[in-house]
Structure 1
């Protein structure tokens, strides 16, 4: 079937299309205040909610785990010391939020040592978790196969300073190796304002590419910005997916994150089949202790997703259907989705 021509949000005809769920304006001040008043009632019901079973198939697509550093030492050149945030703490959070599945992303502080990642995947369970490794150009085929058997389905390119560990010139070779050997995806974190500078490079990588943190635009951008236009072109080319995670990474305006919200709503409208959601737990990005204390909890982030979508069917598509396709989870019937190989390959 021929693809429809790409229509950018800056084109007036973009808004003449039937408004999909998630395109409505933000709630009014009165609605927000009403929501805050309802939080006390929600707190009273919290114990009952926490006892409820998870919603089948719902997925948190961006989690990092920081276990006991005595058992799982940090890399000698780790850019920061994260403290201890073990997998058991995340598992309790997952259950409170009634999430069913999780994708654990290798942290830069562990370098290319994946012992902590594999331990987390083992504890979370093969049917309920997937991993995103962070391999270097010298990784062996044997290590890649071991990571695949442990539940990994992608490798991560962290290209932000001071956390970057590989050179841009190595990315193409790594992407080709993991795709050809295991059919892995690529996870990518970079300042989205400069996507146009690496657009052709990304298009040349085989397989899918998943951009972290709503594209990780580390500064205000409009829909006419060259970086955002590059993102839309990459999505339209069936190359890129976007994780609606970490609004606090690019937007300091707690707790609504209006800049991140505007981008998220546009992406949901533009390609609802190419977005997933992630908590970014435990969210250790900010160096400002005030921002750390003000940072809302993950329940609030899920409520924001509800508002961005405003439609339960679309929300479930993002949390369940899209995530299952992207991360190769079994279908809810227990069968592997058509066209997908098992994680162990």
Structure 2
């Protein structure tokens, strides 16, 4: 099945986000003519340049963002760094780096607004990250005060959890661990995620509702998982759109409707502000506190 392109005309959200709201998980792709995709990429998405992302955020009422490097650009973080440079300090980034990345390269990325590294353990994105390589990279980024973003298929968590517990830095789990919403809150993968979250090194994104859902739009089944995490771990949760939703093959979400889904994920005004303003500030803009 061919992946869908992102929604051409998202609605204006009914939910008005608080000032300083942050989309803590989004991407920029290309444009390929300027920032080519990696020859080793497992997919080649439609161009989704910074101008489109900035326009979307204005439309949704989002003031800040964290751009996450996607595997289609490999370890060339240029498109992301370019977008961050154009944001006047309102955007930060999560990079992907090679095992032999130098201290100078990491310092340059830090200067460019990068604050962490993403590691993939997702089958459709290719070979899972090598554990020894992860350890070596983690040792290099700890002095910078960075964190690791961990992206995995839910079924991998049984084997992955002991390894993650070895790592001595903050870790942020993508998309609610990509659990299957139809399997319920008691499923093994979600219970393992909760066990990890009891360790204060771990954070989680209540993003990717369109990936977690099995019921389809408006993804209320996934919102149940997000709400649980927000209420149980209010100070270590983030939210993001995941625009432009790479590798979605059915039910491409309307990003305005995803904002409205926050009314179910964080129904209390204080919880919502903590989720979309306070927590991303602590993790990505601590110098402003």
Answer yes or no: same fold by TM over 0.5: yes
Q: Deviations over 1:268-306 (max 9, x none)?
A: 2211111111000111222x3xx2xx4231111111111
Moved more, 165-174 or 92-101: 165-174
Q: Render the CA deviation track for 1:83-102: whole Å, top value 9, x for unaligned.
A: 11110111011111111100
* 123 and 206 in structure 1: CA distance in 2 versus 1, 3 angstrom threshold: same
What does residue 309 of structure 1 align with? 266
Q: Offset at 1:253?
A: 2.4
**Bigger mean CA deviation after superposition, 202-211 or 246-255:** 246-255
Equivalences for 1:282-293 in 2 at 5 Å?
A: 282-286=244-248, 288=249, 291=250
8 Å contact from structure 1 (residues 208, 239) kept in 2:
yes
Is 1:98 aligned to residue 50 of structure 2?
no
TM-score (norm: length of structure 1):
0.75
RCO comparison, higher one (Cα < 8 Å, 6+): 2
Name the structure 1 match of 2:283.
326
Q: Give 1:296's match in structure 2, choosing from 244, 253, 265.
A: 253
CA offsets 1:2-58 (integer angstroms, 9 cap, x no match): xxxxxxxxxxxxxxxxxxxxxxxxxxxxxxxxxxxxxxxxx7xx6xx9xx9x84321
Please list, as runs of the form range in 1=range in 2, the aligned pairs for 1:261-276 lying within 5 A after superposition.
261-276=223-238
Residues 128-143 of structure 1 correspond to what in structure 2 (within 5 A)? 128-143=90-105
Equivalent pair of 1:60/1:103 in contact (CA under 8 Å): yes
Q: Which residue of 2 aligns with 1:80?
A: 43
Write out per-residue CA displacement over residues 133-170 of structure 1, whole angstroms, 9 at most, x where no aligned residue: 01121111111010000000000001112314631332
Unaligned runs of 5+ in 2: 1-10
2:186 to 224, 227, 233: 224
Instruction: Provide the residue aligned with 1:32 in structure 2.
Output: none
Q: Is the 1:195–1:228 contact (alpha carbons within 8 Å) kept by the matching residues of 2?
A: no
- Output the CA distance in 1 between the equivalents of 2:186 and 2:69: 33
CA 1:261/1:319 → structure 2, altered by over 3 Å: closer, same or farther? same
List aligned pairs for 1:55-70, cutoff 5 A: 55-70=18-33
Shift in CA distance, 130/265, structure 1 to aligned 2, threshold 3 Å = same
Q: CA RMSD in A?
A: 2.1
Partner of 1:108: 71
Q: Please tell me whether the aligned partners of residues 26 and 241 of structure 2 are also in contact (alpha carbons under 8 angstroms).
A: yes
Tell me by how many angstroms 1:259 deviates. Answer: 3.5
> Given the alignment of the two structures, is residue 172 of structure 1 paired with residue 129 of structure 2, yes or no?
no
Aligned length, in residue pairs: 277
- Kindly indicate whether the alpha-carbon contact (under 8 Å) linking 2:18 and 2:277 is maintained by their aligned counterparts in 1: no
Q: Do 1:121 and 1:131's aligned partners in 2 also have CA atoms closer than 8 Å?
A: yes
Once residues 299 and 263 of structure 1 are traced to their aligned partners in structure 2, the CA distance between those partners, rounded to angstroms, is 20
Alpha carbons of structure 1 residues 240 and 257: separation in structure 2 relative to 1, 3 Å: same
- By how many angstroms is 1:219 displaced? 6.6
Q: 1:336 aligns to what?
A: 288
